[in-house]
A = this chain, B = another copy of it.
């Protein structure tokens, strides 16, 4: 699920690439010169699924950067020398000195992920290795290092196709080594292990960049631009910055290639009145029974509703609550926090509302405010909202470990549809109270919110707590999509 933002089919044409690459290289070289005079080592981790072109990427970076300031290490078979010492010895050997870019093909992540995918280690042992890695990276970052972690992603289908094509053409590059074929058989196991590794080590100081690798040109440009911007930000903040370094954690968008997660939502989906009534009835009946079943099984659930203003959150929530016995649910309106709540950590007010066994809490807006409104309005500092992704993932993981269902809905509409609904509210007496100055202000910041939503979904849609992007242009379609997802998630839980 974490990888859904890297399966959007972004592409860069040959012409576009030839136009953009020289400029990117020029800027990279300039940044590298500046870096050399600074006190910061840069560690670039090149990792990802087999067939994603990690070797090509390493070559590309070496082509773009000034070779005198780059050291490339490929972690391959362990030597005797290495085996005779603790595991991290080989990585310490490979660390670049200050002012130098170290490109690591494979890294401290490789063998934990492989061992986990092959079930040579259990989840506990895996988590311990990841905790050690997180400590290691934190220590280097505190010492002034910049660590840029790339995960190059291919969907299962694309990987299979690429391997087939390569085989047909008799290609045998670094990319399609004998290992590739062996690993690709275990795609799902690898994806699960990689997702966990990324979630557990995606910190504000040292974020992961998951990059779509289907199109080679898009991959190279995006990785190059990401690296450039990370170096620039790091240099701006000066040596040994006490603040977490990266205020922006998305891979930057290559012009022309930008397809975002939200843009992939098909807003043309509709339901006619008759189908809607039929589906609504069926779903609500199903949900009614499931809610009681959950109560009997003592399994609790939380549902989060986020979305654009006027996207229909309230209507969707009402369709859910009408189907559930009133004793079993609570709806929490997350308006401005109370005094008491403001005197606590931002997650406190959501923890306190967690449901008891067998009940459901619906959050109308939620902890995601931290990475949406607080980010856009500047109520949270970049360091704060950057750290929030991991804090939120940790929080939701605790809920899931307890056996709860965590459902998250983003209600999506187009800008045109929003203005239509705003106008309608203004002119309909019993709806006029629903439109405020604030709604217009938020609308003016559509682009900033859009970026925040895309980041949010990319960084917090985990396999245990995935986001459901609801096509909200048609209210009927949206409501049925919400109800159906609700039922499916509860059924899966029980």
A residues neighboring B (CB under 8 Å): 41, 81, 84-89, 92-93, 95, 97-99, 122, 124-125, 127-128, 131-132, 135, 139-140, 142-143, 145, 242-243, 298, 300, 340, 343-348, 351-352, 354-357, 383-384, 387, 390-391, 394, 398-399, 401-402, 404
Given the contacts A242-B243, A354-B85, A402-B86, A348 and B92 also touching, CB distance less than 8 Å:
yes
Q: A95-B344, A132-B398 are in contact. List 19 more A-B contacts (CB 8 A).
A: A81-B356, A84-B356, A84-B357, A85-B300, A85-B402, A86-B354, A86-B404, A92-B348, A93-B351, A97-B344, A124-B125, A124-B128, A127-B127, A128-B128, A132-B394, A139-B387, A140-B345, A142-B384, A145-B345
Residue A343 contacts which of B98, B135, B347, B398 (CB distance < 8 angstroms)? Answer: B98
Q: Are A354 and B89 in contact (CB under 8 A)?
A: yes
Contact in complex: A95, B345 (CB < 8 Å):
yes
Q: How far is the CA of A86 from the CA of B302 in the complex (A)?
A: 13
Residues of chain B within 8 A of A88, CB atoms compared: 351, 398
Of B86, B127, B142, B300, the contact of A128 (CB 8 Å cutoff): B127
> In the complex, A431→B356 CA distance in Å?
77
With both chains docked as a complex, state the minimum distance between the C-beta of A244 and any C-beta of chain B, in angstroms.
9
Which B residues touch A124, using CB under 8 A?
122, 124-125, 127-128
Given the interface contacts A98-B343, A242-B242, A391-B139, does A84 sit within 8 Å of B300 by beta carbon? yes
User: Would you list 19 pairs from A and B whose C-beta atoms are within 8 A, ordered by A residue?
Assistant: A85-B356, A85-B402, A86-B354, A86-B399, A88-B351, A89-B351, A92-B347, A92-B348, A92-B352, A97-B344, A124-B124, A124-B127, A132-B394, A139-B345, A140-B345, A143-B346, A242-B242, A242-B243, A242-B383
Assess the A95–B298 pair: CB atoms within 8 A.
no
- Chain B residues with Cβ below 8 Å from A95 are 344-345, 348
What separation, in Å, do the CA atoms of A389 and B318 have in the docked complex? 55
- In whole angstroms, what is the CA distance A139 to B143 when docked? 21
- Which residue of B has the minimal Cβ distance to A134? B131
With the chains together, A93 CA to B349 CA distance in Å?
10
How many angstroms between the C-alpha atoms of A401 and B128 in the bound complex?
13
In the assembled complex, which residues on chain B have CB atoms less than 8 Å from the CB atom of A85?
A: 300, 354-356, 402
Report the separation of the CA atoms of residues A125 and B122 in the bound assembly, to the nearest whole angstrom: 11
Q: Report how many copies the assembly holds.
A: 2
On chain B, the residues within 8 Å of A354 by CB distance are: 85-86, 89
Q: Complex formed: what's the CA distance from A345 to B43 in Å?
A: 13
- Shortest Cβ distance from residue A370 to the other chain B in the assembled complex, whole angstroms: 11
Bound Cα distance from A86 to B355, whole angstroms: 10
Residues of B within 8 A of A356 (CB): 81, 84-85
In the assembled complex, how far is the CB of residue A285 from the closest CB belonging to chain B, in whole angstroms?
27
Q: Which residues of B contact A132 (CB under 8 A)?
A: 394, 398
Contact partner of A87 (CB less than 8 A), chosen from B139, B145, B383, B398, is: B398
B residues near A89, Cβ cutoff 8 Å: 351, 354
User: In the bound complex, do residue B399 and residue A345 qualify as a contact, i.e. CB atoms below 8 Å apart?
Assistant: no
CB distance from A391 to the nearest CB of B (A): 5
Residues of chain B within 8 A (CB-CB) of A87 are 398, 402
Contact between chains at B128 and A343 (CB < 8 Å) = no
Residues of B close to A243: CB separation below 8 A:
242
Tell me if A127 and B131 are in contact (CB < 8 A). yes
A344 vs B100: C-alpha distance in the bound complex, in angstroms? 11
Question: Could you say which residues of chain B place their CB within 8 Å of the CB of A128?
Answer: 124, 127-128, 131
CB < 8 Å neighbour of A143 from B81, B93, B345: B345
A177 to chain B, nearest CB (A): 29
Which of B84, B346, B394 is A135 in contact with, Cβ under 8 Å? B394
Complex alpha-carbon distance, A404 and B87, angstroms: 12
Chain B's closest residue to A128 (CB) is B127
Residues on B with beta carbons closer than 8 Å to the beta carbon of A344: 41, 95, 97-98
Nearest CB in chain B: distance from A112 CB, A: 13
Given contacts A84-B357, A135-B394, A139-B391, contact A343 B99 (CB under 8 A): yes
A133 to B347 Cα, complex, angstroms: 16
Give Cα distance in the complex from A124 to B124, angstroms: 5
